[in-house]
Structure 1
Amino acid sequence: MASLDGKVVLVTGATDGLGRALAADLARDGATVLVHGRDPGRIADTVREVAAHGSADRLRAYQADFESLAGVRALAAAVTAAEPRLDVLVNNAGVGTANPGGGVRQESADGYELRFAVNYLAGYALTRLLLPLLRASAPSRIVNVASLGQQAIDFGDVMLTEDYDGLRAYRQSKLAQILFTFDLAAELDGTGVSVNALHPATFMPTKLSHAAPISTIAQGAEATMRLIAAPAEQTGTGRYFNGLDEARADDQAYDPAARRQLRELSEKLTGL
């Protein structure tokens, strides 16, 4: 693994589970960690905990609610204003299938299906808004924490207004992350900014939620750290990994027409 001393890493959803473990590992390895969360109290708790693994002056807290694209824009503006460089963006924030809503369809503040909005659109918008900083900091990396659970996007009903199912919504949002990964990697070819996606652990719970076994979190943190810190020739760009191993995503991820359709839809929905 390459040294992370002097590297600045933004981890979204850093106050729980994988994000929290990853923040601690990054701090332990010498990185400056930008800790993002939604709840100020949980952010403060995370910063205190992560400080035990590294210097407190290398931790900075950022608050934003990803249920709102305005919140995402504000986060990007705050990071751009305060940070002279950004070496790695880890798009980890998201919601699972069980919570919130208990299986009932919910919408974001912008009127979009909640899981598509939080798990995909927020990360899409944040990445687009931070690209100038990532380009200026190249060589830099974007890591999208997706999932082994994937389902083809129904472009006729992306917001799942009919026959809603939380698992389907989750799987669709996670596949959208992978389509975006492949599409963006091609766009950024030759710029020094790499983009990869992963299902963080080889274990896949049957019911996804914010909770996960400690061993699974540790495994996921290890796999994500590899995409952050391993030599570029090992990780490449435009790839999808299942844990530590490169894997094949759902067939739709390799369809240029589907990727273009998602790109055009994302530009429209986010205004970017």
Structure 2
Amino acid sequence: MNQRTTLITGATQGLGRGIALDLAARGGTVLLHGRDRDRLDSVAAEVRAAAPGATVRTYLADLADLDQVHAMAARIREAEPRLDALVNNAVAGGGAEPLRRELSRQGHELRFAVNHLAPYVLTRDLLPTLTASAPARVVNVASIGQEAIDFDNVMLEREYEGLRAYCRSKLAMIMATFELAAELDGTGVTVNTLHPAHLMDTNGVREYGLTPATSIDEGVRPTVRLLMDPDLESTTGRYFNQFTDTRAHNQAYDTDARERLMNLTRTLIG
């Protein structure tokens, strides 16, 4: 483990911070992403203090702007000699004002952009480094909250609601996971996704007005397992509910729907 380098997006709070502290305690290099410089520096200092043997570096970007995603990936490719794992954890939740529809820098519905487009772009941009470091793992943090995508209303210009947008974006993330895993089969780079835990005690859960039901640690453990468990080294293209390899929403297995999503995704990201 002491040679491994892992990038964690959304590392300044909640699950991302918990994953960072866990991995740093094991040694190696932990790359922390955030969109607020002060919070990013604060968490980096916390991780360094908790795990003096780890190497910690930070990367700043707002994932609601795909130009910043591309720029961050370019900085990582230039600065990091290897990348053994990527955790796409950063998330836009249901929001404190769930009836207020928000847009990304490129004009896409915000949750679709942050929860699906940004991690897909980041993963694709980092594939040269991941492949060169193989065996490598990509873990996409999804949710048990999944709702079928309406391809006639993908950006929810009608009937908008924040949690609905979140659930559809997380299903998009799962569908893209399956597609990317199939594409990368045989390269040594695995791609899996999971629901880490039910209603963890995070700002996003509280912001939407929900009552947390589980601790952050309950989500950290199954996520780190997907990164570290040697028995899962060749496992790819799977959705886990915590530790259980299980079935996602039915639409995730609809090959026509997946093709429509990926064609749309490629169009939106240029």
Q: TM-score, normalised by structure 1?
A: 0.93
Taking the aligned partners of 1:45 and 1:233, their CA distance within structure 2 comes to 33
Corresponding letter in the other structure for 1:218: D
RMSD of aligned residue pairs (Cα, Å): 1.9
- In structure 2, stretches of 5+ residues that fail to align are none
Tell me the residue number matched to 1:114.
110
Aligned residues: 266
Give the SS at the match of 2:215.
helix
Matched, 1:209 2:204: yes
Unpaired stretches in structure 1, ≥5 consecutive residues: none
Deviations 1:137-184 (A, max 9, x none): 100000000000000111111100011111110000000010011111
Report deviation, 1:56. Answer: 6.7
- Amino acid aligned to 2:25: R
Report the equivalent of 2:225: 226
CA distance in 2, matches of 1:214, 1:46: 24
SS in 1 for 2:59: strand
Distance 2:36 2:50 in 1: 22
Counterpart for residue 6 of structure 1: 3
CA contact (8 A) 1:90 1:144 kept: yes
Distance 1:56 1:154 in 2: 48
Q: Does 1:251 align with 2:250?
A: yes
1:251 shift after superposition: 0.2
Percent sequence identity over aligned pairs: 52
How many angstroms apart in 2 are the aligned matches of 1:172 and 1:87? 29
Q: CA deviation at 1:43?
A: 0.2
Look up the match of 1:39.
36
The answer to whether the 8 A contact 1:17-1:210 is kept is no
Runs of 4+ in 1 over 3 A off after TM superposition: 210-215, 232-235
Question: Quick one: which of 133, 138, 151 aligns to 1:137?
Answer: 133
Name which of structure 1's ranges 234-243 and 77-86 shifts more when overlaid on structure 2. Answer: 234-243
SS in 2 for 1:195: strand
Once the two structures are TM-superposed, the CA of residue 103 in structure 1 deviates from its matched residue by: 2.7
8 Å Cα contact 2:31-2:58 kept in structure 1: yes
Conservation of the 8 A alpha-carbon contact between 2:199 and 2:205: no
TM-score normalised by the chain length of structure 2: 0.94
* Aligned position for 1:30: 27
2:58 corresponds, among 58, 61, 68, to: 61
